[in-house]
Amino acid sequence: MTQTTLLVTGGAGFIGANFVHYWLEKYPTDRVVVLDALTYAGNRTSLSSAEDNPNFRFVHGNILDIDLVDDLLRGEQINTIVHFAAESHVDRSITGPDAFIDTNVVGTHALLKAAKSVWLNGRSTLPHRFHHVSTDEVYGSLGPDDPAFAEDTPYAPNSPYSASKAASDHLVRAYHHTYGLQVTTSNCSNNYGPYQFPEKLIPLVVLNILHGKSLPIYGDGKNIRDWLYVEDHCRGIDLVMKKGTVGEVYNIGGNNEWTNLDIVTLICRLLDEAFAKDQILSQRFPSSPSSAGQKASSLITFVKDRPGHDRRYAIDATKCRAKLGYVPQESFETGIRKTITWMLNNEAWWRAVMDGSYREWLDKQYGG
């Protein structure tokens, strides 16, 4: 039987790294090659436990480098691409959209061209798959009573980030329709869990509580997101790749809608409880209000809204459940506790991240 050899783009990022760990554990005989440009969001240390695995290889490079991608596809006899690499933060897309067009649109197109050249023009007889990882943000914003996003909801992206992801989704679709490339696409809701770069809401709030920094809530804090534990996203992608129909799109979500203010308040309460239970935390994080017996929620600060801020996202995951048997395994209660525990136990990881761009970004954004 042919060995499955995956090219995981963006494997040093949040979801990509979780996916690599998930895959190597579940399919130990498969080979996983990561291609990552190590932008500010990419951390090689997120992959350190995979580095000794002979079935794992890390390649530092850009998806825009079509010759490199071509060489990897041929040299490693890759038969599956799982495409995570992207600029992923909405706020950054508002202040600097160019990188989003370069990586998310032109970069995805470079990968598609390389895949077509090696897998179709080379007349390879091996089965292949290009799985594209996308987002629910391509569907736009929901009103309070609107039905959740289904696979046939019309696209209405509102930010440069979501517009660039929408463009990439269309290119993937077109390469299937026009050239017969064997593609699948998944559009997922907000992820949380280990290795998430602390510019995103949940890890940002946890670290700011530990450091006694304000917790910035955009606008009125009533925007709604549908949160999914990252491993459940990986499980969903796995099912789409193994059981999904080529050329089709699958929405992955957790049926777990929260307002931002409720999420932040919950994290504050969980950290207050953790500090009350474990005295060592007060020694490790003396600037946290929780170590002075004050409530972490005292740090909540309402700030100017994100321009064009989408009000509500929600995923209708009926297709995934009905066609693939997909059911998320983590409840929000267990997932958020796991995430906070992971952050408390992995200080070295986030300190390494914070020493560079996080601190600069945070200080610039909120006046440190």
Residue 343 within binding range of ligand NAD, rule CB under 6 A: no
Residue 313 within binding range of ligand DAU, rule CB under 6 A: yes
Q: Mapping DSSP to helix (H, G, I), strand (E, B) and coil, where does residue 189 land?
A: coil
Which of the following is catalytic: 36, 87, 137, 310? 137
Q: How far apart are CA 110 and CA 114, in angstroms?
A: 6
Give the helix/strand (H/E) hosting 192: strand 190-192
Vertex 182 angle, CA 129 and 250, to 5°: 85
Give the helix/strand (H/E) hosting 205: helix 201-210
Residue 37 within binding range of ligand NAD, rule CB under 6 A: yes
Q: How many CA atoms lie within 13 A of 254 on its CB side?
A: 25
Binding mask 194-213 for ligand NAD (x = CB under 6 A): ---x----------------
Size of the site for ligand DAU (CB under 6 A): 19
Residue 85 within binding range of ligand NAD, rule CB under 6 A: yes
175 touches 112 (CB < 8 A): yes
Residue 12 within binding range of ligand NAD, rule CB under 6 A: yes
User: What is the per-residue DSSP string for 123-179?
Assistant: ---S--EEEEEEEGGGG----TTSPPB-TTSPP---SHHHHHHHHHHHHHHHHHHHH
Nearer Cβ to ligand DAU (225/235): 225
Residue 63 within binding range of ligand NAD, rule CB under 6 A: yes
Q: Choosing among ligand NAD, ligand DAU, none, which partner's interface includes residue 257 (Cβ < 5 to 8 Å by kind)? A: none
Our answer to whether residue 231 is catalytic in this structure is: no
DSSP class of 227:
E
Which of the following is catalytic: 36, 87, 136, 316? 136
300 touches 268 (CB < 8 A): yes
Closest by CA position to 210, among listed 275, 136, 132, 142? 275
Which of the following is catalytic: 161, 175, 192, 358? 161
Identify the residue among 79, 104, 184, 260 touching ligand DAU (CB under 6 A).
260
Nearer Cβ to ligand DAU (33/270): 270
Q: How far apart are CA 124 and CA 351, in angstroms?
A: 46
Identify the residue among 18, 79, 88, 185 touching ligand DAU (CB under 6 A).
88
Closest by CA position to 300, among listed 198, 368, 225, 209? 209
Residue 79 within binding range of ligand DAU, rule CB under 6 A: no
Residue 15 within binding range of ligand DAU, rule CB under 6 A: no
Number of H helices, E strands in the chain: 14, 12
Our answer to whether residue 305 is catalytic in this structure is: no
Q: Is 98 exposed, middle or buried (0-12, 13-18, 19+ CB in 10 A)?
A: exposed
Token pair for residue 279?
Answer: 């005295």
Q: Choosing among ligand NAD, ligand DAU, none, which partner's interface includes residue 42 (Cβ < 5 to 8 Å by kind)? A: ligand NAD
Q: Mapping DSSP to helix (H, G, I), strand (E, B) and coil, where does residue 36 land?
A: strand
Site for ligand NAD in 164-193 (CB under 6 A): 165, 188, 190-191
Report in angstroms how near the CB of residue 244 gets to ligand NAD at its nearest.
16
Our answer to whether residue 137 is catalytic in this structure is: yes
Site for ligand DAU in 289-308 (CB under 6 A): 306
- Other CB atoms within 10 Å distance of the CB of residue 295: 14
174 touches 112 (CB < 8 A): no
Nearer Cβ to ligand NAD (223/290): 223
Query: Which of the ranges 37-45, 72-80, 280-288, 345-353 carries the binding residues for ligand NAD, by CB under 6 A?
Result: 37-45
Binding mask 182-211 for ligand DAU (x = CB under 6 A): -------xx---------xx--x-------
Residue 136 within binding range of ligand DAU, rule CB under 6 A: yes
Report the catalytic residues.
136-137, 161
Q: What does the binding site for ligand DAU look like in residue numbers (CB under 6 A)?
A: 88-90, 135-137, 189-190, 200-201, 204, 216-218, 223, 225, 260, 306, 313
Q: What does the binding site for ligand NAD look like in residue numbers (CB under 6 A)?
A: 9-10, 12-16, 35-39, 41-42, 62-64, 84-86, 88, 103, 107, 133, 135, 165, 188, 190-191, 197
